[in-house]
Amino acid sequence: MIILVNKFLEGKGALITGGASGFGKATAFTFAENGADLILVDRNEELLEEASKQVEKKYATKVIPIICDVSDSKCVKKMTDQAFDELDNIYVLFNNAGLATTYGVDIISVGEKAWDTTMNINLKGQWLVDKFVSRKMNRQKFEPLRGKIIHNASHYGIVLSPFVPLYSISKAGVIALNKLIAKTLAPHITSNVLAPGFHVTGIYGNREDIMLQVMKDGDVKTPLNRIGTIEDVVNLVLFLASEKSNFITGHCFTVDGGITEAGVPSHRLEVNV
């Protein structure tokens, strides 16, 4: 029996920032499984090399690693030129690189250096990547859309946390950036943004105990009563990369087990996470 698998990203290129770890790396595997050629961008050379080799070996697809700090405009411009030279198109941009800096320091006490680092990487970084990649993406001939942009913000960008004030502001900025990008690039390119909740990735040092402590500090209760997986987020990225989401733009999708949108009813306040 022959099973035909619809590789909907066949002939399409995808560029993933923060592609060496966490959501970015997992998305690389999923995009490759669906036929995409990949540009993986990260500033962590060692992890980037490892992730690229793993994806290429598993799916025999083209995977080009590019070392780049997304907060550096010269680097982003060079990276974009190289990406479009290596692949003949970038149909999907997963604008995902980000980091958490200070924890537990309030907005009045937090230092200027931490402000600059957080805003430069989390907010300016996504803007720079949008800016350079979308110009070239917009010249592509794909129909009905020339390309798709997916940003990565956070639930903290919607419900701001005093434990991570800079991170929260930077992610609120990404949600705003997404709306403006969607308005600006319509009708040819869609732009949407994810707001994940709590998922064990490099941002928590890949440690569930650290993440659970952060949830405890913030008195977080998850209506769906489990912690998030990386796959929960990748499933949404895949939907946003597919034609099934072609009529959606400018939207922010929480993927957090209901923390932001539902909240926990009082009779269930004893949920575990």
Ligand X SMILES: NC(=O)c1ccc[n+]([C@@H]2O[C@H](COP(=O)([O-])OP(=O)(O)OC[C@H]3O[C@@H](n4cnc5c(N)ncnc54)[C@H](O)[C@@H]3O)[C@@H](O)[C@H]2O)c1
Q: Give dist(CA 203, CA 206) in Å, integer.
A: 7
Taking alpha carbons only, the member of 38, 138, 128 closest to residue 86 is 38
Question: Which one of the spans 6-14, 36-44, 55-63, 262-270 is the region binding ligand X (CB under 6 A)?
Answer: 36-44
Comparing CB distances to ligand X, the nearer of 154 and 245 is 154
Q: Does 22 bind ligand X (CB under 6 A)?
A: yes
Q: In angstroms, what is the minimal distance from the CB of 5 to ligand X?
A: 27
- Please return the burial class of 207, using the count of CB atoms within 10 Å of its CB with bins 0-12, 13-18 and 19+: exposed
C-alpha to C-alpha distance for 31 and 110, rounded to whole angstroms = 38
Question: Of residues 125, 147, 165, 257, which one binds ligand X by CB under 6 A?
Answer: 125
* Nearest distance, CB of residue 38 and ligand X, angstroms: 15
Q: Is 147 in the site for ligand X (CB under 6 A)?
A: no
| 165 near ligand X (CB under 6 A) | no
Minimum Å distance from CB 96 to ligand X? 5
Give how far Cα 143 sits from Cα of 2, 89, 98, 183, 227, Å.
30, 13, 31, 19, 38
Q: What is the pattern of x (binds ligand X, CB under 6 A) and - over residues 173-212?
A: -----------------------x-xx-xxx---------
- Residues in contact with ligand X, counted by CB under 6 A, come to a total of 28
**Residue 39 burial by Cβ neighbours in a 10 Å radius (0-12, 13-18, 19+):** buried
Determine which residue in the list 8, 44, 86, 223 makes contact with ligand X, applying CB under 6 A. 44
Q: Which residue is nearest to ligand X (CB)?
A: 22
Q: 218 to 247, contacts with ligand X by CB under 6 A?
A: none
Q: Which is nearer to ligand X, 32 or 194 (CB)?
A: 194
Q: Is 96 in the site for ligand X (CB under 6 A)?
A: yes
Angstrom distance (rounded) from CA 110 to CA 167: 11
Q: Does 43 bind ligand X (CB under 6 A)?
A: yes
Task: State the amino acid at position 227 in one-letter form.
Answer: I
CB of 48 to ligand X, least distance (A): 7
- Which is nearer to ligand X, 89 or 260 (by Cβ)? 260
Question: Please, what is the minimum distance in Å from the beta carbon of residue 255 to ligand X?
Answer: 9
Q: Which stretch binds ligand X (CB under 6 A): 8-16, 66-74, 176-184, 243-251?
A: 66-74
The answer to whether residue 167 is catalytic is yes
Kindly state whether residue 257 participates in binding ligand X, applying the rule CB under 6 A. Answer: no
Residues that are catalytic: 167
- Contact residues: ligand X, CB under 6 A: 17-18, 20-24, 42-44, 47, 69-71, 96-99, 121, 125, 152, 154, 196, 198-199, 201-203
